[in-house]
């Protein structure tokens, strides 16, 4: 990423680390998984049955397009889940 996508001048929670597809990513306590991933420049959250990427749409828990596997639990909405230290997040391949 060329630039930090976190808006400067905001008091945030404590710094934590989590994993996305094996890659270690820094986030702040209190952020949603979606916010933490978007801030790291990650937009592709899953793979559709045709092999195409799938990303967040509504950002408010309605469309279920941002689902990811969190700590082995499939189908969690990234926009509604809060990021936690050590969380293991993985993209899912959708069933045909």
Partner 1 sequence: MSSHADVVVISAGIIGASVAWHLSEKKVDVLVLDKSDPCSGTSGACDGMVFLQSKKPGVHLAMAMAGRHRFDNLARELDAEIELRCRGGIMAVTSAAELAAVTRFIQEQNRAGLGVSLLDARQARDLEPCLSTDIFAATFCPLDAQVNPIYLTLAFLDAARRHGAKVLSRTPVMDIRITPRGVYAIDTPRSIIETRTIVNAAGVHAPEIGKMVGLEIPITPRRGQILVTGPMPPLLSRCLISAGYVAAKYDPDIAGTGSMGISIEQTARGNFLLGTTREFAGFDTTASLTAAKKILSRTQAVIPGLANARLIRTFAGLRPFTPDGLPILGHVSSRPGFIMAAGHEGDGIALSPVTGQIIAELITGTTPGISLTPFHLERFFRGTVS
Partner 2 sequence: MIFKKRCDVAIVGGGVCGLAAAATLADQKLDVLVLDENRYLGGQVLRSLPWPGNASGIHKIFRSRPRLVDKTATPSVTILNHTQVMGIDKDLEILAEKDRKEIIGIRPQMVLAATGARETFVPFPGWTLPGVMAAGGVQTLMKGAGVLPGQYMVVAGMGPFLTAVAGLFLKNKGMPTAILDFGKRADTCRLLVHGFRQGAKILEGVRNLTGIFLAGVPCRYRTMVVAAQGSRELEKVVAARVDSLGRIIGGTGKTYKTGCLATGWGFVPNLELPMQAGCSLTHDPDLGGWVVAVTHDFETSIPGIFAAGEITGIAGASISMIEGELAALGILKKLGRNVDVHRMAALQRQRKQSLSFSTWFNRLHRVPDAVFCAIPDTVLICRCEHITMGEIKTAVEKGYDTPAMLKKVLRCGMGLCQGRTCGPVVNRILAALTRRSAEAFPVLPVRTPVKQVSVRSFLR
Give the residues lining the site for partner 1 (CB under 8 A).
73-75, 95
Which of 17, 21, 26, 49 touches partner 2 by CB under 8 A?
49
> Does position 74 bind partner 2 by CB under 8 A?
no
Which residues ranging from 16 to 45 are in contact with partner 2 (CB under 8 A)? 28, 30-32, 34-35, 38-39, 41, 43-45
Q: Do residues 62 and 53 make contact, with C-beta atoms less than 8 angstroms apart?
A: no
92-93 and 23-28 beta bridge pairing: unpaired
- Pick one of partner 1, partner 2, none as the site partner of residue 8 (Cβ within 5 to 8 A by kind): partner 2
For residue 64, what are its two tokens? 């279920």
User: Which residues have a Cβ under 8 Å from the Cβ of 1 and sit 6 or more positions away?
Assistant: 40, 41
């Amino acid at each position: 990423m060329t630039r930090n996508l976190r808006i400067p001048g905001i008091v945030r929670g404590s710094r934590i680390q989590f994993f996305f597809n094996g890659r270690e990513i820094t986030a702040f306590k209190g952020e949603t998984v979606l916010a933490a991933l978007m801030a790291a420049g990650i937009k592709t959250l899953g793979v559709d049955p045709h092999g195409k990427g799938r990303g967040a749409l509504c950002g408010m828990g309605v469309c279920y397009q941002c689902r990811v596997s969190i700590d082995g639990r499939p189908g969690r909405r990234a926009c509604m889940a809060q990021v936690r230290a050590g969380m293991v997040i993985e993209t899912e391949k959708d069933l045909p």
